[in-house]
A and B are shown apart, each in its own frame.
Chain A
């Protein structure tokens, strides 16, 4: 991260470039030599103002170029380029053409014409050294008053010194697996080798003496990292600066760390530079390039400048190409881009994102509304927005039929997967409910619970979706009937027969089915009403039945034979029904004169189901017909009284049971005592006494159970009446909470329940019930934040 970026002056794209070198071949200024992996050597002269191409010469060699050096390697020749490739060290002489020869002494400013057709210069091979093992890098060993030597390090860390066309020595001073950078300090005549993360200083004289003894190093240091580049400074305080991947360390002549810089990104290249302007040798000035495209310029370990380079260079040079471009930075990236540039105060290329000062307030308001909606949704879903997944359940009425197999042929039923209804009333037809599931993603097991007053083979079912098999587990008295069906993976279906049970007579034709998935905790509930015919068959009309209900209509009476067309009655005035397998009947009469229907039954619990069916059918045959009825509060009162009476009797009976129990226990105690004492004389009398009181106990228990059953029945009747009241209230557009579920699934007494519903504890039960049927329940006191919010919003809009 930096404030500024490098200013590009010249850039070249040389694919497959592997190394760059600055060398001065003429005019005391730097030229750039570019070596490629493909063996190409290019000499560029970026300081030449006339030629935009800058290319002086291009030569193709046969070997990939690893490194290059330029120095006085032969006493007879200057301008020699030493090129290191894995197998060869080749010396080239750089010769310039006629054109240049004339210009060599002239200042670069006066170069006026450069003919592009003219070959500016040539590279001529002088001689070469071949290696058996691949070379890795080299360094120039300057020697006072004689040509420089070249020290080449091979990939297996063998060092070979070449002086001109001769090999002085070749030895392995320190074994290492990976070669690293090497450097030479002329002042102390020390060679520095940073192979495999160890920096070692070796006296050069030891190596050049030619002795084959093991060479000891002066000092060594574990860098703890891979060395990438080494720079050695000469002078009074010779310093060795090593760039590693994660830090830069500087060592003095005795091998102690002078300073260290810990890098934030991986170090890529380093370059030591001397500035003529800042003629201070006290500090070492260096440029470090890191992998996050930053150039860091240090004065020792103090960062003095940093800038964005826009590439991460693998090689860095500081060159002076001409007088106006002195000390410019040359960078080479691994992609083949060569950039020559200088540090400037150009701001970093960061661009501020587009500024939208103009606010579209109408848009913003819309956006705000959407967000508000999101908040509300999320509030409703308890913090997280509700997902729209779930099980889809469809419940349909299937076929209606009579039982085909009687109870006694149970053993055969496995084979013919036939409907058996062991708990069905005699001759009662069944109605299959088809339950289809879809979107069962990741659901392997579904539990079905059935709530209905009609009987079914079981009240709980379990569907295995994953195994594509439906298991119907029957938990009631008869076990062991299973039905298997193949189903597709994301859907499932099951058929459940419903019929009039043999034990209890239904007071409602409602069936509620709840499906629940254990793993995802998703559940879905559906309610459906069974067809009337499943519950009732046609029977005798009973005009003298005790309980009556009158339904008024605004229009003319419709014939009952038409209304109940599926029954084979031809009498439009009256029709009678009886519950399957029981004596309970209900009759409906139609009075043409008064536009009324009358429902009559001996059983109060049948009024609701009949009236509901009748109202439904009238509504279906004549749309929008006004229908009304009077809620039979007297029946509710009667039933309530009955229940209260029965409760009292039940209490008395329980007291009787208590007494009888005590009696039986006392007789038991007595007989046990007499057994202990051995006095068995009155055994027969005691036996008779016990027998009598035991019988009495059993009788009273029977009575108790009887009362309990009666209460249950009465309660069912009451619930049915409540539903009837609800139905009739609904006809007069009053919604009441008094439904058939009002007093079920609760341990509260009816009074408590009613007190809660009417929110008062005054008056008796009947008054409360009447009150409930007259008024719809009050709204719960909810916190109505939304409205206020709306107001706020309006205010803000107005503002």
Chain B
């Protein structure tokens, strides 16, 4: 048996086994070798397509990154002047709604959530403001349009292959392959995820849907995905509704709700999620979607309830734990928030943000010893992108402790890490103002506003300084802007009322 040939799997079987074991690069290499021997092997070809597309797969439900172009040049919003509570732009004005004092907002003017999601930036303010915000602040938002960005992603993934493009889409016989149910799914996924050529992907989905005699829910969903990427939301809705009539599936419900969110119809989205829940009771995708929508609408109680239901069904859902914790923290229950954050820590997540949050919770819960060690750990593990936030929070802690020089120092350190950190600018301004350096404070508030025009605190604080200095006109302008960010702020309203007689007197 010494000259016994090596016993092992060979050929297509090997490739299939590797693919099954999720060893995609190795599977791709085997496929490439097989195709070199027999370029007409359709099965191998399809498998290689699958290897390539799976390596760049992104869940389309989570992929909600919207470019500025989509956000502001959007013609899809059905009701531009919606009633309060029925639009993301006009959340309910009741007191439990968005309150920037009780819960800070992001640079894009949305209330802070427990996790960073791509689409945490709905439209607010003008395009000019948004362009400025996006450029100065660290947001996840792309300045260009989504399709252009995806095109870049596509070319990048193609550059990775040494042999250049695997399938020449311009020369392939699309009608033939797209109608073949054996390869069309693989081809579609390759074009959609790997090449990112949505136009061709749409063509394939169209042909495939026709070949399946418009009876396959799958192709309707894929068509809807293409329409979503192309911004043709009405068409997407139509396809998804037709798909739902055929088969009620989680993905379809979620996609439909996502489409409704894109056209600023949160109520319709919630309804769709509810229908999805009827079909699939306690489904995590539906519940998470509902929780996110409620959070964006400022209904934290409802949102938290949904997240709790998520946790009942899936106790290791980090997004749910983090969001519940955040809401508890801002709701004045730091001890409970601490328990949730500790849970995340126990589950094996260790990020500087988490340590900082635990530190802040501990501080609020008067557990100073543990707060200190958590903050030190956050500082030790922080990366450049969160350094500004960590230093800012250290500044807050220093203010709480009463060490104002150190607080000022921490804010300045935050500013060295991120010169656009508007919160640090405002708080540093307050400290300067306290020291009697009014001009310096004014300039700090001013730069905070220029970095983040939607910020309530910056506008309000500068307005207070202006009022003290007798610059009533500027004060009024700033108060009005502050009220845009926080329409229910009582003191702002009172100040505005006291300013009015001055104008009338003239």
Which of B5-13, B258-266, B497-505 faces chain A? B5-13
Expressed in whole angstroms, the Cα–Cα distance for A679 and B55 within the complex equals 101
Q: Is A39 on the interface with B (CB-CB < 8 A)?
A: yes
Q: Is A778 on the interface with B (CB-CB < 8 A)?
A: no
Cβ of A302 and Cβ of B313 under 8 Å apart?
A: yes
Contacts of A2 in B (CB 8 A): 316, 347-348
Q: How far is the CB of A258 from chain B (nearest CB, A)?
A: 9
Point out the residue from B9, B315, B416, B440 that lies within 8 Å of A37, measured CB to CB.
B9
Cβ of A86 and Cβ of B348 under 8 Å apart?
A: no
Cβ of A1 and Cβ of B349 under 8 Å apart?
A: yes
- List residues 341-381 of chain B with CB under 8 A from any CB of chain A: 343, 345-350, 373, 376-377, 380-381
- List residues 16-40 of chain A with CB under 8 A from any CB of chain B: 16, 18, 37-39
Q: What 0/1 readout, one digit per residue, does chain B (33-77) give for beta carbons within 8 Å of chain A?
A: 000000000110011001000100101000000000000000000
Which of B146-154, B230-238, B281-289 faces chain A? B281-289
Cβ of B348 and Cβ of A378 under 8 Å apart?
A: no
Q: What 0/1 readout, one digit per residue, does chain A (166-190) give for beta carbons within 8 Å of chain B?
A: 0000000001111100000000000
Cβ of B216 and Cβ of A353 under 8 Å apart?
A: no
Q: What 0/1 readout, one digit per residue, does chain A (630-666) give for beta carbons within 8 Å of chain B?
A: 0000000000000000000000000000000000000
Contacts of A352 in B (CB 8 A): 350, 377
Q: Is A348 on the interface with B (CB-CB < 8 A)?
A: yes
Cβ of A350 and Cβ of B350 under 8 Å apart?
A: yes
Expressed in whole angstroms, the Cα–Cα distance for A3 and B317 within the complex equals 12
Cβ of A383 and Cβ of B183 under 8 Å apart?
A: no
Q: Is B257 on the interface with A (CB-CB < 8 A)?
A: no
- List residues 1-43 of chain B with CB under 8 A from any CB of chain A: 4, 6-9, 11-13, 16-17, 19-23, 42-43
Q: Is A291 on the interface with B (CB-CB < 8 A)?
A: yes
Point out the residue from A38, A86, A197, A266 that lies within 8 Å of B22, measured CB to CB.
A266
Q: Is B182 on the interface with A (CB-CB < 8 A)?
A: yes
Cβ of A134 and Cβ of B249 under 8 Å apart?
A: no
Cβ of B350 and Cβ of A177 under 8 Å apart?
A: no
Q: How far is the CB of B97 from chain A (nearest CB, A)?
A: 31
Cβ of A347 and Cβ of B346 under 8 Å apart?
A: yes
Known: A155-B12, A260-B280. A303 touches B313 (CB 8 A): yes
Point out the residue from A1, A222, A246, A796 that lies within 8 Å of B316, measured CB to CB.
A1
Known: A257-B249, A375-B416. A1 touches B315 (CB 8 A): no
Cβ of B47 and Cβ of A178 under 8 Å apart?
A: yes
Q: Is A308 on the interface with B (CB-CB < 8 A)?
A: yes
Point out the residue from A62, A155, A246, A796 that lies within 8 Å of B7, measured CB to CB.
A62
Cβ of A334 and Cβ of B318 under 8 Å apart?
A: no
Cβ of B21 and Cβ of A314 under 8 Å apart?
A: yes
Q: What 0/1 readout, one digit per residue, does chain A (57-71) give for beta carbons within 8 Å of chain B?
A: 000001110100000
Residue of B nearest to A221 (CB): B247
Known: A371-B413, A375-B412. A303 touches B314 (CB 8 A): yes
Cβ of A303 and Cβ of B315 under 8 Å apart?
A: yes
Contacts of B227 in A (CB 8 A): none
Expressed in whole angstroms, the Cα–Cα distance for A226 and B185 within the complex equals 10
Cβ of A177 and Cβ of B346 under 8 Å apart?
A: no
Cβ of A136 and Cβ of B13 under 8 Å apart?
A: yes
Expressed in whole angstroms, the Cα–Cα distance for A372 and B405 within the complex equals 13
Expressed in whole angstroms, the Cα–Cα distance for A301 and B279 within the complex equals 13
Contacts of A348 in B (CB 8 A): 346-348
Residue of A nearest to B369 (CB): A357
Cβ of A301 and Cβ of B283 under 8 Å apart?
A: yes
Scoring A64, A198, A266 by chain B CB atoms within 10 A of each residue's CB, the highest score goes to A64
Q: How far is the CB of A244 from chain B (nearest CB, A)?
A: 11
Cβ of B7 and Cβ of A383 under 8 Å apart?
A: no
Expressed in whole angstroms, the Cα–Cα distance for A259 and B286 within the complex equals 13
Q: Is B277 on the interface with A (CB-CB < 8 A)?
A: no
Interface of B is mostly: helix
Contacts of B82 in A (CB 8 A): none
Q: Is A355 on the interface with B (CB-CB < 8 A)?
A: yes
Q: How far is the CB of A14 from chain B (nearest CB, A)?
A: 15
Q: Is A196 on the interface with B (CB-CB < 8 A)?
A: yes
Q: Is B217 on the interface with A (CB-CB < 8 A)?
A: yes
Q: How far is the CB of A371 from chain B (nearest CB, A)?
A: 6
Contacts of B440 in A (CB 8 A): 783
Known: A62-B7, A303-B316, A353-B380. A134 touches B13 (CB 8 A): yes
Q: Is A356 on the interface with B (CB-CB < 8 A)?
A: yes
Contacts of A198 in B (CB 8 A): 181
Expressed in whole angstroms, the Cα–Cα distance for A372 and B16 within the complex equals 60
Q: Is B419 on the interface with A (CB-CB < 8 A)?
A: yes
Q: Is B392 on the interface with A (CB-CB < 8 A)?
A: no
Known: A1-B347, A378-B416. A177 touches B316 (CB 8 A): no
Cβ of B405 and Cβ of A222 under 8 Å apart?
A: no
Q: What 0/1 readout, one digit per residue, does chain B (206-221) give for beta carbons within 8 Å of chain A?
A: 0000000000111001
Cβ of B7 and Cβ of A39 under 8 Å apart?
A: yes
Cβ of B7 and Cβ of A353 under 8 Å apart?
A: no
Q: How far is the CB of B224 from chain A (nearest CB, A)?
A: 13
Expressed in whole angstroms, the Cα–Cα distance for A314 and B9 within the complex equals 17
Contacts of B21 in A (CB 8 A): 268, 314, 334
Cβ of A291 and Cβ of B22 under 8 Å apart?
A: yes
Contacts of B59 in A (CB 8 A): 246, 262
- List residues 308-328 of chain A with CB under 8 A from any CB of chain B: 308, 312, 314
Contacts of A63 in B (CB 8 A): 7
Contacts of A66 in B (CB 8 A): 9, 13
Q: Is B143 on the interface with A (CB-CB < 8 A)?
A: no
Q: How far is the CB of B147 from chain A (nearest CB, A)?
A: 23
Q: Is B268 on the interface with A (CB-CB < 8 A)?
A: no
Q: Is B250 on the interface with A (CB-CB < 8 A)?
A: yes
Point out the residue from A245, A257, A301 that lies within 8 Å of B247, measured CB to CB.
A257
Expressed in whole angstroms, the Cα–Cα distance for A257 and B183 within the complex equals 24
Residue of B nearest to A371 (CB): B413
Expressed in whole angstroms, the Cα–Cα distance for A795 and B412 within the complex equals 19
Residue of A nearest to B62 (CB): A264
Cβ of B347 and Cβ of A226 under 8 Å apart?
A: no
Cβ of A383 and Cβ of B419 under 8 Å apart?
A: yes
Q: How far is the CB of A311 from chain B (nearest CB, A)?
A: 12
Q: How far is the CB of B52 from chain A (nearest CB, A)?
A: 14
Q: Is A374 on the interface with B (CB-CB < 8 A)?
A: yes
Point out the residue from A228, A308, A375 that lies within 8 Å of B413, measured CB to CB.
A375
Cβ of B20 and Cβ of A353 under 8 Å apart?
A: no
Q: What 0/1 readout, one digit per residue, does chain A (355-371) give for beta carbons within 8 Å of chain B?
A: 11100000000001001
Cβ of B8 and Cβ of A38 under 8 Å apart?
A: yes
Expressed in whole angstroms, the Cα–Cα distance for A111 and B305 within the complex equals 56
Residue of A nearest to B315 (CB): A303
Cβ of A308 and Cβ of B54 under 8 Å apart?
A: no
Contacts of A312 in B (CB 8 A): 22
Contacts of B6 in A (CB 8 A): 38
Cβ of B8 and Cβ of A306 under 8 Å apart?
A: no
Contacts of A257 in B (CB 8 A): 247-249
Expressed in whole angstroms, the Cα–Cα distance for A39 and B280 within the complex equals 45
Known: A197-B185, A334-B23, A357-B373. A177 touches B46 (CB 8 A): yes
Contacts of B17 in A (CB 8 A): 18
- List residues 279-310 of chain B with CB under 8 A from any CB of chain A: 280, 282-285
Cβ of B405 and Cβ of A796 under 8 Å apart?
A: yes
Cβ of A268 and Cβ of B22 under 8 Å apart?
A: yes
- List residues 170-201 of chain B with CB under 8 A from any CB of chain A: 181-183, 185
Contacts of A176 in B (CB 8 A): 182
Expressed in whole angstroms, the Cα–Cα distance for A387 and B416 within the complex equals 16
Q: What 0/1 readout, one digit per residue, does chain A (196-211) give for beta carbons within 8 Å of chain B?
A: 1110000000000000
Top 8 A-B residue pairs of the complex, sorted by shortest distance between their CB atoms: A222-B218, A177-B43, A350-B348, A39-B7, A1-B347, A177-B182, A334-B21, A303-B314
21 CB contacts below 8 A, A to B, read A3-B346, A16-B8, A64-B7, A86-B9, A155-B12, A176-B182, A196-B185, A197-B185, A198-B181, A222-B185, A228-B20, A260-B280, A268-B21, A312-B22, A314-B21, A350-B346, A353-B381, A355-B377, A356-B376, A383-B419, A796-B405
Known: A1-B316, A179-B16. 10 other contacts (CB 8 A): A16-B8, A222-B216, A224-B185, A246-B57, A256-B247, A257-B247, A348-B348, A350-B350, A355-B373, A355-B377
